[in-house]
Structure 1
Amino acid sequence: MLKSKYKAFEIQDDKVSETVMDGNLIAIADFIKNCKEGSIITIHTLDGKPFLIGMSKLFLYCEDNEFLNNQLIPYLRGM
C-alpha cells in the first residue's frame, strides 16, 4: 500500500538530488523516468523506511512487489 508522501533520491557519481513527492503511480514513475541512466534511485517513506531501491530502470528492492510488478513496471514500459 502506498503512503501519501515519499522522499526520493537520485545518486549519480558525487551528486545527490533529493525531492519529496506524492505517493502515487504517476509521481513515482515520473521521478524514475527523469533520472539519468546509471544513477542509483532510492525512494523512502518520510520516516526513512526504504520503499524502492534501484539503478536506472533495474529495481533491486521494493517493499510492495505487487505494486512494482503489476503497476509500476507495466506503466514505465508504456511511457
Structure 2
Amino acid sequence: KGVTVAGKTGTAQQGNGRPPHAWFVSFAPATKPTVAVAVIVEDGGGATEISGGRLAAPIARAVMKAVLGR
C-alpha cells in the first residue's frame, strides 16, 4: 500500500540571466508525518525546462521511498 505524501514545488529566480533554482519540500505520511524531505536543484541542474515538479520532486520521491522502506 502507498503512503500519502504532502508537498510543495517551486522555483526561485536569480536574475542576471541565470537559470532559476528548482525546489520541492514534502512530508509523509500526510496526516501524521514522521519524515520530511527538502530538495533544491541549484541553477536548474542544467535542464532546459526548469520546475520543482520536474527536477526536485523525483529526487525527493526516491529519498522518501528509501526512508520509508518502500
Instruction: Please indicate, yes or no, whether the TM-score normalized by the shorter chain is above 0.5.
Output: no
Q: Which structure has the larger Rg?
A: 2
Shorter-chain-normalised TM-score: which range?
A: 0.3 to 0.5
Higher relative contact order (CA 8 A, sep 6+): 2
> Which structure dedicates a bigger proportion of its chain to strand?
1
Q: Normalising by structure 1, what TM-score?
A: 0.32
